[in-house]
Structure 1
Amino acid sequence: MKRLTSLLEDLNKAKIKYRVFGQKDIDVTNIYDDSRKVKKGGLFVAIKGLRSDGHNFVDQAIKNKAAVVVVERIPKSYKGEVTVVKVNDTRSALAILSSSWFGNPSKKLKVIGITGTDGKTTTATLISQILNNNSKKCGLITTVNVQIGKKSYDTGRLTTPGALSIQSFLSKMVKAGCRYAVIEVSSHAIDQKRVQGVDFEIGVLTNVTKWEHSDYHGGFRLYRDAKAELLKKSKKVVLNKDDVFYTFFLSKYKDRKVISYGIEKNADFKVSSVRLKSTGTQFLINKEYKIDSRLLGVFNVYNLVAAISASRILGISWEGILRSIHFIRPPEGRLDAFKNNKNINIFIDYAHTPNGLESCLSTLRSIYPDKRIIALVGAEGGRDVIKRQLMGAVSTKYADYTIFTSVDPGLEKEENILKDLEKGATGGYISIPDRGEAIAEAIQNIARRSDVVVICGKGHERYIDYKGVDYYWSDREAVRIALRGEVYALGKIYN
């Protein structure tokens, strides 16, 4: 329980202007951004989302005995029965109030934020593992899950949880004795102010490509600028010098310490002598430190050196880093090999962008130069239409045969998505809308002994959005079922 006056003081410190209608000196029992969960004495923040507006549910929050509602506009039905706090931006207010409610936990941690188009989850996971392997207790928030010690928590469909959840998890980390936290930060999360109440020690930018989330942000420049916002919040910045937008980001952060990494260009952490193998990767950093990793592909070289750069900034010794490299593992659904008795090289990968798909397929092509590669590729419905043709082009360039299929069609017709993918095709392909049937076709009928089958687009995810409803799904389970000659079907509604 906290006094409303105490929470409002943190709004003042964050320079968020507000007006209070009703009593200030009252107790608040909890904070909510979902009116259905509000309990007696709670504070409800009305958030306007893409599909619904929390302002339409203020009456429900009051009915559930909220003591305070935070809004951008006063409800027409307001009769003075509760305290109303009016602000210009409830998303910003929610972020600051959430941090305040949980005791500003990020101030008690060294927080590392990872953003970029590709490689965020892996880079975040690697930093967390390096820190924990060096007795630096670290919590982790990614699109896969939240990890705090031996406990893990589901984050649902969001790459980055909402502001209230982030602060709750950071608070749990503090209570668990963590000194560090690594957060995967999406451009949506930055734009929606989910991390506004977080103090970042280090901001890491993996890369930026032009075709991701341009529909949401209204163009590439706004997407790029959203990425820049995380770095503005960070005391130190880690940049990929090989990225085409390195100079742009460097020019924005001359007032703070910027560390660079790269393979092609001279950088603070310069990679050379890269050797790619089917069992892992070897390379040198600054011609001195030999890295021998089980991670596959050049893209994971970038992820590793980004993680190593951040770890060195945090004071982890080279000895500690080199020792921990032998134990690190990629997150689930990142070029996961699926062992089987049919002698087919089966991989499951999250690749869902043109750049990510190219990294995945070019890696497999370099590891298996003489093998036939069959790729299963899709694109989400209702978003990022511009990248679909590129996905089709990339897949048919690197794979010997492509199966276009569903990822998350949502409310869009699957045939429209598949037609967009087909427009980019320059090689052999077939389109099978049903993902389970597509996986079965690849494994049961198309693949031969020693072929490579890579199933892209879902990775770790446990759902498929079909006609606006999330159904349980697992690519790993679909592969297992296909290997025994059957077809995996959509599961129950995902909660």
Structure 2
Amino acid sequence: MNFNELLIACDPIDVTGSPEGELNGQIVHDSRQVGSNDVFVAIRGHKSDGHKFINDALGKGASVIIAEEPAPENTGTAIWIHVKDSRKVLMPLALASQGNPQESLVLVGITGTNGKTTVATLVYQVLTHLGYNASLLGTVSRRIGKSELPSKLTTADPVELAADLKDMVNAGSTHLVMEVSSHALDQHRVNGLRFDVAGFTNLTHDHLDYHGSIENYLNAKKTLFDQLEERATAVINSDDPSADVMIEDTKATVWEVSFNDDSGFRILSNTPAGLELDLDGTYISSTLSGVFNASNIAMAYLICLALGCNKNSVASALSEARGAAGRMEKVQIYSSISMPTVIVDYAHTPDALENVLKTLSAIKSGQHRIHVIFGCGGDRDKSKRPVMGGLAETYADLVTITSDNPRFEHPLAIIDDIKKGFNDPAKALIEPDRREAIRQAIENGDENTIILIAGKGHETYQEIRGERHDMDDRMMARSAMLNKSLNIKTRGEAN
């Protein structure tokens, strides 16, 4: 990247120094990572202000400073670029430094409180099934071409994201399907990406600890559609009350997902084995269950059509697609002993928990009872805790409140907040140790028990006081089921 490209990406208010020639350094926004000749972008964060560390960056050899403050009297040999909003210029800068790889990719972005991961995974699987070299970025998976890498954030930091896009192009990818979080939109992490298709799943109670209000949360999501160009397509779940606001200022063509009576979409069957759908005359069979997954499948279907895929080919691919890890994922072992049905789901918001519990209630037989095990994350939106407690009491026959990721909060304090939502708090079983809660539920359950382990889904860790400890709900459940099977067999042989 040369200085001219840098200045175009920055749209500066003022430039101090003589920018010319090529830039040899990296784009950096953490002063601890600055090296010789790097470009340091000072960002005002929620917890710290990068402007306080400009001198540190200069001391480490930064050749360019990009800041929201005018240049001081003496910047030495460094070039100082004064901008209105350094967050907004970080992604365009990062993209320019990587040769603007986004221009070689068809971009699909999906936002919403719940369903992002499932929709993104389905679209990715369809594209791959149809022969495209697609990449995927999201909460569960980070697939660059044929390589699978650890996923850190739903939507990555701009510098990392731009590097990922460059790697995708180098790996031969033509399409990128990515989840776009409200945090990323609020922090302008996808600023400069020209999405070809964007999807909106829904908007419900979540992240109010960060956004402050549901209105701010909605407006953050809305920016994805505000920035779409006329050539783009917005695929919207119009059954969601926020749909109209989401698209009121978009220039894109709008396609709607709806299962209202006047739409052409119908749920033909919803059973534990899966869904059968009629999407405006196209039949789709899926192993996913639940009304909420009908909407996710329909959105994935329309997104693929917006990308130019054949509808019959998409329907066939969706019939073979699997759901995302930790989303209504059934845990099974091979055993001759009858076991409870165990389902792990990422449901960590009131709406997601209600949807999963409603689905299980709708498809269970008369003999079944539902036992839900869940907690709420520490140092996060506290207002949703009693709401989720009330929903668990309403829809489940048994409730065990346990720890999720307590972080720096005391687990029992979080549990007390959840119990406030119960009409009868005495109905709640309390077991702060998540492993033990899972073990007890499986040990005491039988073939008529449906155990829902909610909140962590695909996660393989538990955050406690700044440390991540190994914890995978699926592995814990499988281990408890194996132990139960072994104990029953041992007792039988002893008799």
- Give the letter for the 1:259 counterpart: W
Alignment partners' CA distance in 2, 1:196 and 1:265: 38
Aligned equivalent of 2:202, options 204, 207, 210? 207
Alignment-derived partner of residue 185 in structure 1: 180
Deviations 1:137-156 (A, max 9, x none): 22111111211222012221
**Deviation digits for residues 243-267 of structure 1, max 9, x if unmatched?**
12223334333x4311101112434
Structure 1 residue matching 2:296: 3-state secondary structure: helix
Q: CA deviation at 1:79?
A: 4.4
Report the Cα offset of residue 76 of structure 1: 7.7
Question: Do the aligned residues in 1 keep the contact of 2:202 with 2:237 (CA within 8 Å)?
Answer: yes
Q: SS in structure 2 opposite 1:406? A: coil
Q: How many angstroms apart in 2 are the aligned matches of 1:336 and 1:57?
A: 46
Cα deviation, residue 114, structure 1: 0.4
Matches within 5 A, 1:29-428: 29-73=25-69, 79-156=75-152, 158-209=153-204, 211-234=205-228, 235-253=232-250, 255-267=251-263, 270-286=264-280, 288-340=281-333, 341=335, 343-370=339-366, 371-426=368-423, 428=427
Partners of 1:381 and 1:88 lie apart in 2 by: 35
Aligned residues: 474
1:28 aligned counterpart, secondary structure: coil
SS for the counterpart of 2:468 is: strand
Structure 1 stretch 144-153 or stretch 299-308: which is displaced more?
Answer: 144-153
Contact 1:55 1:75 in 2 (8 A): no
- The separation in 2 between residues aligned to 1:3 and 1:251, in whole angstroms, is 39
Which consecutive residues of structure 1, in runs of 5 or more, have no partner in the other structure? 487-495
Q: Which residue of 2 aligns with 1:467?
A: 465
Q: Report the 3-state secondary structure (helix = DSSP H, G, I; strand = E; otherwise coil) of the residue aligned with 1:114.
A: strand
**Residues 1:53 and 1:154: Cα distance change in structure 2 (over 3 Å):** farther
Query: Alignment partner of 1:252: what SS?
Result: coil
Give yes or no for contact 1:42–1:68 (8 Å, CA) kept in 2: yes
CA deviation profile, 1:347-370 (whole Å, cap 9, x unmatched): 111000111011111112222233
User: Which of 477, 480, 491 matches 1:479?
Assistant: 477
| Separation (CA, whole Å) in 2 of partners of 1:125 and 1:64 | 42
**CA–CA distance in structure 1, aligned partners of residues 239 and 479 of structure 2:** 41
Over aligned residues, Cα RMSD in angstroms?
2.1
Report SS of the residue matched to 1:249: helix
Q: Deviations over 1:195-234 (max 9, x none)?
A: 002111111110112x212231121111111111001122
| Maintained 8 Å contact 1:382/1:412 | yes
Range with greater deviation from structure 2 (228-237 or 57-66) = 57-66
TM-score by length of 2: 0.90
Q: Match for residue 10 of structure 2?
A: 11
Give, in whole Å, the separation in 2 of the partners of 1:215 and 1:90: 24
Q: Distance in 2 between matches of 1:185 and 1:133?
A: 23
Match 1:456 to one of 454, 457, 464: 454
Query: How far 1:439 sits from its partner (Å)?
Result: 1.7
Q: Secondary structure at the match of 1:374?
A: strand
For residue 380 of structure 1, report the CA deviation from its aligned partner. 1.3
Shift of 1:64: 3.2
The 2-side partners of 1:265 and 1:91 are apart by 44
Larger radius of gyration: 2
Give the conservation status (yes or no) of the 8 Å contact 1:28–1:67: no
Name the CA distance, whole Å, in 2 between partners of 1:47 and 1:476. Answer: 39
Q: Structure 2: which 5+ runs fail to align?
A: 485-495
Contact 1:58 1:75 in 2 (8 A): no
> 1:460, 1:78 → 2: CA distance?
51
Pick aligned residue for 2:445 from 444, 447, 450: 447
Paired residue secondary structure (1:326): helix
